[in-house]
Amino acid sequence: MLFNSRVFLFVFLPVAYFVFWKLSSKQLRYIWLTIAGYVFYSFWNYKFCAIMAFSTLVSYAAGIGFLRFQDRLRRKLCLIVPIVVDLSLLSFFKYSGIWKFALSSGEWLTSLWGMDAASSLLWKFHVHSLLWSRALLEGALLPVGISFYTFHTISYIVDSYRGTIKPTTNIFEFACYVALFPQLIAGPIVRFRQVENDLEHLDAADRRSGLDIGWSYFVIGLIKKVLIADTIAAIINPGLASFSTLGTAGAWLCALGYTYQIYFDFSGYSDMAVGLAHMFGIRLPQNFNSPYKALDPSDFWRRWHISLSTCLRDYLYIPLGGNRASMYRNLLITMLLGGIWHGANWTFLAWGGYHGALLIVYKVFHETWDALPTLLRRGAMFLLSVIGWVIFRADSFAMAEQWLAKMFYPTTGYMFAGAIVLAACIAVAAAIAHAAPNTFEMSHQWSPRAACALAVGLVCCLIMISGGQRSPFLYFQF
Amino acid sequence: MPTRNSILRCGYLLPRVLLLWALFDVMLRFAPPQWYAFRVHEFAMLTGPHDIGPFRTNLTYQNSRAYGDLASLGNCTDCRQYRPMNIHIDERGFANAVSSGAYDAILVGDSFGIGAEQPGGSTLASQISQRTGLSIYNACSPVRAITREHLMELIDQLGMTRGTVFFELMDWSLGYFRAAQEEPGFDGVDRWSRNVEYSPLANVSRELVGRLYDGQLMPNPYATNVARKLLPDRRPILFQLDDLRDATPDGPRLWARYFIVLNRELRQRGLRLIVILVPSKYTVYQPLIKDATRTNKSEAFNELQQDLPGIPVVNTTPALQQAAAYELEHGNLLYWRDDTHWNADGVRVAADQLQVRYASDFVRISGATKVTAISEKHSR
């Protein structure tokens, strides 16, 4: 079920909302939000609910273990076992490409590591059985949102282990946190400590103010997604389907279009998630802080997908040694893993590597870079991020190479239908992304005129949702 | 700034906009369909208190300036052929103008049999009726024929203990046996979810948004489903992309098995099955179009016919191909240029074939002195 679908807007949300506020006790609200989360999730594939429930139970049990055990060994076990389970589930479902690669590399392993024929055969059999059982289990489909809720559960386990949070003994509170439908499918990756207080006081939430702010966030997010991101997608997708015929102008329009599409799509989703959570008395953290206003690569990653980059920083980069030892190596590993988190695709890995390289170069030359005029730094950082998105969007390295070549070596070619509308959309998107305040910088106390403008925007979105093609959020695939 | 009690607060105003939209959507369902159904397939999607038919019961759809779906999908304004459209849905949810006391035959099939694209009196049911004198109940359903279970239920409802069941099968179905056998979703949860999914306002929105996706201002995502070809006289003609695909190898065998079972069930009830094989537009015009890719659907129909010994089969393909070539020399077509369906001339050729083969065999039960074709009553 998509936030921009009629069944969500007209059936699921009203039912979830009214029942929630009819319930007075905290416990009942936890239970209701958990049920709502599982119903929401089951609209993709009800079988995958079992995986989420299993992951929830394992992580909850780990939390209970941290409360019960004080000795180092058992606490370590409570840390490692559930993380291994969660990561195994993630890799099992998400990285079948890597498993297939592993399968094809049987001979390579034999020659490289001196593996004998029997071991190689065993290795192949093992990978084959994994692939087969995966296909059998879910028809080669990826359980949507698995990357996000796995991060939720892992962050909970690690924070509990570190003592940053006190694990909850209330299974419904924890299940409600994992299955909270606004952030279940595509984030933000909310850490337990960020919503712990709101969950604790769920029975004392202010319905009226939450509703005002929530609807404001939600409709702004919907407008960003439906009116801007989807319009851009409707034009650039057919253009990119025949990208080999594009000329320089077309290649640039597609690159810029995708740069804004992914931002408005994902930040729109995040705003909708924040808005929906507000309606239920929960405040989710900011996920985007005007990333295209960034002045340098470090700044970009403080602004883009903040919940992921902070998770990578806290749970990967710092444990690897952070700035203290082998900083460049740590940066590169973190960014490569950040890239592969998006899926088993070499272009994602290359995108992560590209950003890792940018961060390293910036760390080396930051004094020179920081001395440049602000406008120049901002423009250059934006251009670098556009190049990154070309790598990210391309289906293969060959496509990325050709696309970039078309952008930087003048070539004539075919201009796709809708180029004028796309240019207008890019202009509007650029004005908003580079000059306007982001949703967390807004007060959400709108004048009557502004509220009416949002209502008109909502009607336009409803027309587009009802009359246009259904468009899933880009980050659902990650 | 709004006060806490202002009605122009987001928390007050925006959910009410949604509520109003939903209410308006529900209310529109009770309005005449021509207010919100701009094309016949949108009307065909209407859901409501069905009996066993696919449509909402006791409803009339009229459109004085309808044109084909392919012209609409492919943004081919130059191919549009405007015509009036008029369908009445009876109390069972099928396209029949009025109920008759007794029926000699039932016509089962898809949209070719419904006759949505035909003027009154030119549907397959009425053309067969005119030639044979039979009173025929048109039980055709869009996309695919009704299930065997629904057919038996209909036979019981009509009180038929003798007579004929005409089964119109389009060659498109040869590639989609399983889909064609699936429950079309008129019952239980399926019906409920179809009703939730169906939205008159979505039709209106599609009409608005569709104007933006005209292939120039915005790319038309549906244009790739339409193949544009040239007739020998240089006139453009549109085909559905699906029609250019081959039948699946096991399609004829699966359909043959289906008809054998259906024939057995009908015989037990004293009814007789006659299968009418109808080619798609591409199958008919493919020999006339230069450099057209060949499909195997004619051969698949032959194969199906051979697999059905003992069951009367009227394969209209050769006659339609022959007539198409002849009529084209006189500037006429047997199918709409802008739609997948046949026109009145195409229906006539098919009905003639049926008359030639089986007219003398039909059993009249209704006893009417002059059988008026049901579809003729449309025009009243």
pLDDT in the model for residue B367: 45
**In terms of domains, do A179 and A221 share one?**
no
Least confident of A7-11, A133-137, B319-323: A133-137
Test the B interface: residue of A18, A415, A462 with most B CBs within 10 Å = A462
Contact A319, A337 (CB under 8 A): no
Query: How many structural domains are present in chain B?
Result: 1
Query: How many structural domains are present in chain A?
Result: 2
**In terms of domains, do A271 and A200 share one?**
no
Is the pLDDT higher at B189 or at A342?
A342
**In terms of domains, do A278 and A351 share one?**
yes
Is residue A315 very low, low, confident or very high in pLDDT (cuts 50, 70, 90)? confident
The helix/strand/coil state of B62 is strand
- How does pLDDT run across A372-388, given as a tens digit for each residue? 999 999 999 999 999 99
Instruction: Collect all residues with Cβ–Cβ distance below 8 Å to A404 and sequence separation of at least 6.
Output: A387, A390
The answer to whether the Cβ–Cβ distance between B14 and A9 falls below 8 Å is no
Catalytic residue check, A342: yes
pLDDT at A110 over 70: no
Contact A311, A151 (CB under 8 A): yes
Find the CATH number of the domain harbouring B108: 3.40.50.1110
Q: Which residue has the tokens 């009418």?
A: B276
pLDDT in the model for residue B129: 87
pLDDT at A411 over 60: yes
Identity of residue B232: P
Q: Does residue A1 lie within any of the structural domains?
A: no
**In terms of domains, do A340 and A316 share one?**
yes
pLDDT at A4 over 60: yes
What does the longest C-alpha to C-alpha distance in chain A come to?
75
Question: Chain B: which residues have CB within 8 Å of chain A?
Answer: 1-2, 4, 6, 8-11, 13-15, 17-18, 21-22, 196-197, 199, 201-202, 204-210, 213, 215-221
Taking CA atoms, what residue in B is nearest to A219? B14
**In terms of domains, do A176 and A258 share one?**
no
Question: In a 10 Å sphere around its CB, with 0-12 CB exposed, 13-18 middle and 19+ buried, how is residue B289 labelled?
Answer: middle
Residue A235 backbone class (left: φ over 0; alpha: ψ -120 to 50; beta: rest)? alpha
- How does pLDDT run across B9-36, given as a tens digit for each residue? 888 899 999 999 999 988 888 888 778 8
Structural domain containing residue B111:
35-199+222-379
Contacting residues of B for A211, CB less than 8 Å apart? 10-11, 15
The answer to whether the Cβ–Cβ distance between B13 and A452 falls below 8 Å is yes
pLDDT at B188 over 90: no
**In terms of domains, do A403 and A426 share one?**
yes
Start-end of H helices in chain B: 10-28, 40-44, 69-73, 111-114, 124-132, 148-158, 177-181, 188-197, 200-212, 251-268, 281-285, 297-306, 317-329, 344-358
Contact A82, A62 (CB under 8 A): yes
**In terms of domains, do A153 and A27 share one?**
yes
Complex ipTM value: 0.79
| Span B218-244, average pLDDT | 86
Least confident of A59-73, A242-256, A319-333, B357-371: B357-371
Test the A interface: residue of B10, B213, B217 with most A CBs within 10 Å = B10
Query: In 10 A of CB B188, how many CB atoms?
Result: 9
Residue A405 near chain B (CB below 8 Å)? no
pLDDT at A162 over 60: yes
Q: Does residue B30 lie within any of the structural domains?
A: no
Q: Does residue B139 lie within any of the structural domains?
A: yes
Tokens of A284: 């989710």
pLDDT at A402 over 50: yes
**In terms of domains, do A353 and A451 share one?**
yes
**In terms of domains, do A197 and A217 share one?**
no
Tokens of A63: 């939390």
Mean pLDDT of chain A: 86
Instruction: Rank A151-155, A351-355, A414-418, B219-223 by mean pLDDT and report only the highest.
Output: A351-355
pLDDT in the model for residue B4: 55
pLDDT at A101 over 60: no
Is residue B374 very low, low, confident or very high in pLDDT (cuts 50, 70, 90)? very low
The answer to whether the Cβ–Cβ distance between A446 and B216 falls below 8 Å is no
The answer to whether the Cβ–Cβ distance between B2 and A447 falls below 8 Å is yes
The answer to whether the Cβ–Cβ distance between A466 and B201 falls below 8 Å is yes
**In terms of domains, do A41 and A178 share one?**
yes
pLDDT in the model for residue B248: 83
pLDDT in the model for residue A475: 55
Structural domain containing residue A63:
6-204
Is residue A136 very low, low, confident or very high in pLDDT (cuts 50, 70, 90)? very low
pLDDT in the model for residue B249: 84
Mean pLDDT of chain B: 81
Tokens of B59: 């409803």
Residue among B11, B18, B218 minimizing CB distance to A234: B218
* B136-138 and B105-108 strand pairing: parallel
Measured CA to CA, the distance from residue A166 to residue A64 in angstroms comes to 10
Is the pLDDT higher at A471 or at A70?
A70
Is residue A369 very low, low, confident or very high in pLDDT (cuts 50, 70, 90)? very high
Measured CA to CA, the distance from residue B176 to residue B180 in angstroms comes to 6
Instruction: Rank A291-300, A442-451, B229-238 by mean pLDDT and report only the highest.
Output: A291-300
**In terms of domains, do A305 and A443 share one?**
yes
The answer to whether the Cβ–Cβ distance between A238 and B219 falls below 8 Å is yes
Contacting residues of B for A448, CB less than 8 Å apart? 2, 6, 8
Is residue A476 very low, low, confident or very high in pLDDT (cuts 50, 70, 90)? low
Is residue B370 very low, low, confident or very high in pLDDT (cuts 50, 70, 90)? very low
Least confident of A235-239, A341-345, B192-196, B306-310: B192-196
Question: Of A143, A173, A204, which residue constitutes the final position of a domain?
Answer: A204
Instruction: Rank A45-59, B69-83, B95-109 by mean pLDDT and report only the highest.
Output: A45-59
pLDDT at A107 over 60: no
Q: Does residue A271 lie within any of the structural domains?
A: yes
Residue A459 near chain B (CB below 8 Å)? yes
| Span A324-338, average pLDDT | 88
In chain A, the percentage of residues whose pLDDT exceeds 90 is 51
Is residue B59 very low, low, confident or very high in pLDDT (cuts 50, 70, 90)? confident
pLDDT in the model for residue A5: 79
Residue B328 backbone class (left: φ over 0; alpha: ψ -120 to 50; beta: rest)? alpha
pLDDT in the model for residue A460: 94
Is residue A47 very low, low, confident or very high in pLDDT (cuts 50, 70, 90)? confident
**In terms of domains, do A231 and A281 share one?**
yes
Least confident of A233-237, B65-69, B123-127, B341-345: B65-69
pLDDT at B141 over 80: yes
pLDDT in the model for residue A393: 93
Measured CA to CA, the distance from residue B305 to residue B311 in angstroms comes to 9
Residue A439 near chain B (CB below 8 Å)? no
Question: Of A173, A204, A235, which residue constitutes the final position of a domain?
Answer: A204
| Span B282-292, average pLDDT | 89
Question: Of A151, A172, A204, which residue constitutes the final position of a domain?
Answer: A204
The helix/strand/coil state of A316 is helix
pLDDT in the model for residue A380: 95
Tokens of B138: 């048109």
Cα B206–Cα A15–Cα A197 angle in degrees, nearest 5: 120
From A342, A355, A366, A444, the catalytic residue: A342
For residue A133, the distance in angstroms to the closest alpha carbon of chain B comes to: 27
- What pTM does this model have? 0.80
The answer to whether the Cβ–Cβ distance between A234 and B209 falls below 8 Å is no
The helix/strand/coil state of B222 is coil
| Span A451-459, average pLDDT | 94
Measured CA to CA, the distance from residue A447 to residue B285 in angstroms comes to 63
